[in-house]
Amino acid sequence: MARKGSIKYLQKAKSEKNDEFYTTLSDIERELGHYKKHFKNKVVFCNCDDPEESNFWKYFSLNFKYLGLKKLIATHFQSKKPSYRLEKTNGDTKKTPLKQNGDFRSPECIELLKQADVVVTNPPFSLFREYVGQLIKYNKKFLIVGNWNVISYKEIFKLIKENKIWIGINNNRNFSGFIVPKHYSLHGTEARIDEDGNRIVSSNNTCWFTNLDVVKRHEELILYKTYKGHEDEYPKYDNYDAINVNVTKDIPCDYRGVMGVPITFIDKYNPNQFEIVGQMATTKVDEFNHGYPYVNGKKIYARILIKNKNNGKENFE
């Protein structure tokens, strides 16, 4: 509840396509410290980043030698005039005008994308599906900021199910907030001005999305509860053959069928331990979604449908 006003503010900005949210340096440092090995001898492209404002550019520029980067490139969208790209190689920084406006979908930026090894940025939330689709199309490694709710988008969920994208290390309340321009109003209980004069709007529904491997992805969730003898705690859905699990930590270790778990389970998802079967998250029914979940005639929160790959054996050996 503490960030309710700020969440509504971010949702309103998204719907109006106001995408000028800048990631704080502290949030970038907290996340990127887990990926150092992925940057050595690599070309890093920040394709939604004005170097004058972007803390992504600042982070990679300051840590260029420490990370062992081969090249750093940044481009950004300018609506009323041609944009530019900034490149850093071996300590030298070069500014080059673009013929176009720096939109990540422009031919110029796509050519730069083709040269990149890893893409790291905070893309426009209003264009998130299209942005991720482009990264997948060009087979790029990436680490990007997104809204937690996009997990249920058909296009994003399909990629999560196919293990082509997953959650990074930090999410939700591990984010300190976004820096917004001066013309943005500040409201919500955790909207503030920091010690450097930055205007910050906080949210508890933001996370990192990536396809870079990290240790967290291989950590096994310890299961201690059992289905047998506690069947009344795990009712079946009215509209799908699966049991309902209200809390991720309460996933039963001995159940072999399909289980519906909270969307927050994705943060604990280990593809070697679980299989994602589908979701129950919207009214639209398709190959991945089976409609909102109902238990005893009552609609409940969205669920991810999973199966335990270990067949309930891991806690009984």
Q: Where are the domains of the chain?
A: 4-217, 231-308
* Angle made by CA atoms 56, 25, 141, in degrees to the nearest 5: 35
Q: Take residue 174 and report the two structure tokens written for it.
A: 């591990």
Q: Take residue 166 and report the two structure tokens written for it.
A: 């997953």
Q: What 3-state DSSP class applies to 209?
A: strand
How many residues does the structure list for the chain? 317
Closest listed residue to residue 44, CA positions, set 8, 92, 79, 86:
86
* Long-range contacts (CB closer than 8 Å, 24 or more residues apart) made by 235-241: 235/295, 235/296, 236/295, 237/280, 237/293, 237/294, 237/295, 238/294, 238/295, 238/296, 238/297, 239/290, 239/291, 239/293, 239/294, 240/280, 240/290, 240/291, 240/293, 240/305
pLDDT tens string for the chain (317 positions)?
334 444 444 444 444 444 567 788 989 999 999 999 999 999 999 999 999 889 999 999 999 999 999 999 999 999 888 899 999 998 689 999 999 999 999 999 999 999 999 999 999 989 999 999 999 999 999 999 999 999 999 999 999 999 999 999 988 666 776 767 666 666 655 676 777 776 767 667 889 999 999 999 999 999 999 999 999 999 999 999 999 999 999 999 999 999 999 999 999 999 999 999 999 998 888 889 999 999 999 999 999 999 999 864 544 43
Assigned fold of 4-217: Rossmann fold (3.40.50)
